[in-house]
Every structure is written in C-alpha cells, then in structure tokens.
Amino acid sequence: MKTIRYLTIGCLCIYQALASAEVVSIRFEDSIKSNGYGAINLMRRSTGDKIISSAELEAFRIDNGGYMVFAVDVNEAANGTEKAQSQGITVLQARLDVRINNVVYSFTDFTTKTQSVVAEKGSTNRQMHYTVIGETGSSRITSNTDSDIYGSSFDGTISMPVNIDISQASAAYVHFWLLDTNTKLGDPEAFYDFTAGYEDLAIVSYQDASYLDSLAIGRDLAPLVVLTDSSTNISSHVHYPSSTDYYLVAYEDNYPYKGDYDFNDLVVAYRISYGLTPEGKVKRIQGEGYLVARGGSYDHDWYLHISLPSQASGIGELIQYDPYQNQPRQGYPQSIELTGGLNIKVFDNILSQFYHPDYFYANTLWYAGFTSGQKFHFSIDLDQSIALAKIEAAPFDPFLYVWSTGYEIHLPNKATILAESVNATNQQLAFKTNDGYPFAMILPQEWLFPNEYVDLGYVYPQFVDFIQSGNQNNLDWYQQGILRGLNKHGQQWKW
Amino acid sequence: MNPINKPFQRQKNHAHTFIWPTLLFLLIIQSISYAETTALKDNPVKAHSGFSNFNIINIQIDVPSYSLLGEFRFLKVFDNYGNILFLGQVSTDQVFKFPLHALKTAQNLTIELFSEDPADQTVTIKKDISKGKLL
C-alpha cells in the first residue's frame, strides 16, 4: 500500500514538474530537403546532447492545448514575386507518427495560418492548399533567450492536433510533403513553389508560436493570400506596371534649360501596388524601387506623389535598404502620416549616398564599374478604403527636387507640389523644353539608359519616329538601341 | 597674249567650274544629313507627338455571370509576356472594374477567373490590346 502511495506521489510530482517547467522551443536536426520532403525525427535536436525526450514532447503538446506546433524557416529562391522580404511554400501533406508500446499512432490533420489556390506541376487546375510564408535573414527576438527561435529566422507555423498522451513515446517522426507547383503559370504558383530548400523546422512553445503568428511575416507582399482564421481586408492586388516589372523614370535636371538629352541625370525604378478589398476598393498603397543611375552633377531629392481624395487619411512606413542588405538603413523605418494626397520624399540628398567610389557619377560612365543603388519600400494603410477611380492613374507623379537650382521637375502636365520650389514661386508650370521635349520620361524596365552626354535619339534611332508618330510606329524602339552608347550593366540595379 | 598664261587661265576657269557645284552639293548633303539625324537636339517635337510607352486598359468582369461551384472567386490578369497585373480574391457578387497600365508592345491580356473547387474549370478570357483599346 505504501509503495503504491509513493509511486502515485512520485508520478504526480513528475507530472507537475513537467507541467510547470517552462517549455522552450527547440530546433530539429532534420529539415525539409530540396526535393520537398522531410522526415523529421522529433527526438533529435540540432545542437547539444541531441536528445529530445518524449516527456519534453508531451510538454509541448500540453503547452499548445493538444497541438504539436512546428515553426518553419522558409528558405526559397527568388522566383515569381518571391524576394527576400516575402517568400512562400505550399504544404501538400503532413503526417505525425508516434510509436508507443510498439503501436504507431498517426495524425494527418494540420493547419497553417494562410492558404492559397495553386495548381500542381503539370496541371492548371487550382485547389486551395495551406501555405507558409516567410522572409530571408531576419532575427527573431523572443522573450526567452534560451529558445532556439531567439535570434533565428523562423517564419510561420504548422499546427497538428494530437489527442493522446505522448510522454511514453519511444519514437516520433513528422513527415512533410511540399506541393510541387506548376511554376510555368507564374504567380501564385511560382511564389508558393519550393526551390532552394532546405526548410528548417523547430518545435515551438505556445508563446513562441503566438509570437511568430502575430508577426504575419511576409504576408503583405505575398500574392493571393487567404487567411485561415479570419477574413482579410485586403484580398487582391493590382500592380503598376506589374508584380515583377518596374517603371523607370529618367530625368534631365537642368530645368528650365534643356540639357544634353542623355536622360540619365537621375534614373529611378519604381512600382506601385494597391491592396484591394473584395469589393475592389483601395485599402493599402505599397511601393518599392531602386536608385538606378545618377549622371547629373546636381544634388536631388526624389519624391513619389499620388493624388488622392482630400479626405483620404492613413498611416504607414517608409524603409530604405543599402545594397544587398535585408535590414533597414539607419534611421528607417520612418513613419508616414497621410492626409489628402500621398507625397513621399523617398530619397533625399541622393548625391551623398549614390556614387561610384572612384568617380562622381553612378553607372553612366562607360568605363566605370557598376554601383548598386539603395532600395526602398513603403506601405500605407488607408483609414477608409477609396474607389480606384478616385486615385491618380499610373504612372503617377514621380518628381525630382534639384537642390542646386531650387526647381522641381515633373512629368509634363503635372503640377508643382513643393511650396518652396523656385518654379512653384514663379508659376513656371510647363515641364517641357522649347523643343517640346519633357524633362522626365517614363520608360519600360527593359530600357537601357544612355551613357554620359549621349543623346537618347542617337542611341535609339527609332525613338524620334516613335514620338513623332504619336506612339503609333516603332513601339519597341527601346529594344533597338545601339549598345555601344548604352549602359552596359543591364538590370543589375535590381538586386 | 602671253602663251604661258593660257594654261593657267584655263586651269582657273576649270576650278570655277568645279568649286561651285561641289559647294552646292556639300550644302545639300549637309542639309539632308541634318534632317536625318535621330538626335533629339536636332528634332524638335511636332504637334500630336507622344511619349507614352504604356496604355491604360480598363478591365471590367461580371463575376456573378460565370457559374462556378466554389465558395470563393479568384482573378488573375496577365499579359503575353507573363507579367501579372492583377491577382487575388474578388467578391462573388460584383461587376469588378479596374484600370491597368500595360506595355504598348503587349499584344493581349489573359483574364482568368477561378475558384477553390477542383471541379471548377478556370474561366479564361483573352483580350487583344494591340491597338490599345479599352475593354
């Protein structure tokens, strides 16, 4: 009798100790391989003594209210619209096998926080599947520094309900199969494919799972996201010019005097997407782009202006990145408070940040090496959604403020914006030379800007006919350039 | 008459005969080559010129007019280069309208309407935009 009592007390103590001990997330030794399949031994951690006990696994299950929750470090190549800030995988199937007293218990139900409608390789028939969305190279800051999530780049979670006690398990494996999507269809399939692998996995505490889920990593930039637990304000995106291309805006900065027509005094790449409600109203405005070339001697600020109804309001943030960096530059993110129109000074004092170390210019001298420019991203959530028809049409109003002259330079037929500019003060509103040429032009991403002092018309012999014909002839003029007079670095600016 | 001067005189006359036509020829050539240069500095912009490499294309799709079994509707619009201009979930009961900005060199747009139900075939509509017309 005494023996039974001691055993019972002992068991209760162990159970209580397990229940009260803090559950700390653990990274597994195994991962999902580049073939899209992973058999993960739940009893092998990536570091230390390598052993995870069945009692520890049971503690995770209890901590998560009867679920085993796994964090995934999404690690994908940039296909479709995948990029460092947003990339995704599609989970086709999951199976958790737990061996207890030589009986294998299998669990196949699973959920993630997001879904999408994608077609499998070889098929065009799309179906809803669970997805995991993430990003590259971040550093998660959890409250518990002993957690393997702390300082890691784990992203989303996969939850599997397990309705038995697994504290006596002798083996436990979870198998994941990722969906091989039909990437030939472009997005969403190209985004939610698996390409680079390996996707690392961890078993996570309730606290860490909640933390990762609350971050909603990469979701804003991911295509066709359907939230599993709730409806979303933003269900679609319209892209200008497209989800993968950029506009190039090229300036002659000697306004109001005509320059050398090389249209490389400043070249900036940008694109805009509107996040729409299911009813088709704009709820979010996002933009991103790069500094591409600087062939002018003057110092510039570059703005993006989009006219909105006067009652429009919202908040957001602007982030700049130094070349090939995933972390924001010092001083960013900067908050954006929107009232009326959107007018963001995206880059300021460009002269001081975008130059070749051995030369004054950036990317416009034929003999100089390539200089990577800074990247920007902004996102603004509107307080009230706005009908698309009430927002300025693409390509919007990307404009330049020239510090050296005090003038602002817009596309033709746009108005001055900055009260302090010389042309706003003088009411000089025509943004064309006496010859009728603009000081700013919007060009397709494929366009290569001319080298320093090379007249655009010399290196694109069909351009004059294109414009004089009212854009009826030689629509592909920018694909017919004379290469020896053009930027030799192609689209290297898109890092 | 100085016989020695005669050849000189003839030579002088000969020069006159060829210099003026040559000068005239050079002037004509120069004016032709001036007009034919493709440099912007030599070609002031004429009336009715244009500088746009993109067309605004207005899309309108009557979502409820397509009978699909699924609970949700998804719309994708892309050009013949594969550039995606619109992607996402749309209301099941609305006529959906939005403007796009397509490259002038693009020949057509493909509009796909689909649901999450595997039994539903994707509705595919191809639109010729080579003339930049509105849909």
Nearest CA in chain B to A469: B49
Taking CB atoms and an 8 Å limit, are B83 and A475 in contact across chains? Answer: no
Q: How many residues does chain A have?
A: 495
Residue B85, Cβ neighbours under 10 Å: how many?
A: 27
DSSP state of A439: S
Distance in angstroms (rounded) separating the CA atoms of residues A101 and A79: 46
pLDDT of residue B32: 44
* Nearest by Cα to A308 from A207, A205, A380: A380
Taking CB atoms and an 8 Å limit, are A236 and B87 in contact across chains? Answer: yes
Nearest CA in chain B to A244: B83
* Residues of chain A where predicted confidence (pLDDT) is lower than 50: 1, 10-20
Contact A45, A28 (CB under 8 A): yes
Contact A319, A383 (CB under 8 A): no
Q: Which residues on A lie below 8 Å from B115 (Cβ)?
A: 117
Nearest CA in chain B to A225: B88
- Start-to-end CA distance of chain B, whole Å, equals 90
Taking only the tens place, the pLDDT of each residue in A308-351 is 999 999 999 999 999 999 889 999 999 999 987 899 999 999 99
DSSP state of A83: B
pLDDT of residue B39: 95
pLDDT of residue B29: 46
pLDDT of residue B133: 55
Distance in angstroms (rounded) separating the CA atoms of residues A20 and A15: 9
Beta-bridge partners for A31: A200
Taking only the tens place, the pLDDT of each residue in B35-61 is 579 999 999 999 889 999 999 999 999
Distance in angstroms (rounded) separating the CA atoms of residues A218 and A153: 12
Q: Using CB atoms, which residue from A81, A125, A238 is nearest to B118? A: A125
Give the DSSP per-residue string, A236-251.
EEEEES-SS--EEEEE
pLDDT of residue A428: 79
Query: In which residue are the tokens 């506009």 written?
Result: A247
Taking CB atoms and an 8 Å limit, are B85 and A239 in contact across chains? Answer: yes
pLDDT of residue A137: 74
Taking CB atoms and an 8 Å limit, are A460 and B101 in contact across chains? Answer: no
Mind telling me how many Å the CA of A5 is from chain B's nearest CA? 58
Contact A220, A86 (CB under 8 A): yes
pLDDT of residue A103: 97
Residue B1's pLDDT band (cuts 50, 70, 90): very low
pLDDT of residue A327: 87
Taking only the tens place, the pLDDT of each residue in A266-323 is 999 999 999 999 899 999 999 999 999 999 999 999 999 999 999 999 999 999 999 9
Taking only the tens place, the pLDDT of each residue in B11-42 is 445 555 556 665 565 555 444 444 579 999 99
Cα angle value A399/A401/A407 (rounded, 5°): 110
Distance in angstroms (rounded) separating the CA atoms of residues A347 and A300: 8
Nearest CA in chain B to A240: B101
* Nearest by Cα to A491 from A442, A452, A446, A441: A446
DSSP state of A230: S
B78 at A interface, C-beta within 8 A: yes
ipTM value for the complex: 0.88
| pTM, to two decimals | 0.85
Which residues contact residue B34 at a Cβ distance below 8 angstroms, ignoring those fewer than 6 apart? Answer: B42
Mind telling me how many Å the CA of B115 is from chain A's nearest CA? 8
Q: State the best of B33, B34, B53 to mutate against chain A, taking most chain A CBs within 10 Å.
A: B53
Mind telling me how many Å the CA of A460 is from chain B's nearest CA? 8
Distance in angstroms (rounded) separating the CA atoms of residues A420 and A407: 9
Distance in angstroms (rounded) separating the CA atoms of residues A42 and A30: 9
Which residues contact residue A348 at a Cβ distance below 8 angstroms, ignoring those fewer than 6 apart? Answer: A301, A302
Kindly tell me if the per-residue pLDDT of B8 is higher than 50. no
Contact A401, A298 (CB under 8 A): no
Beta-bridge partners for A345: A303
Taking CB atoms and an 8 Å limit, are A463 and B38 in contact across chains? Answer: yes
Contact A377, A288 (CB under 8 A): yes
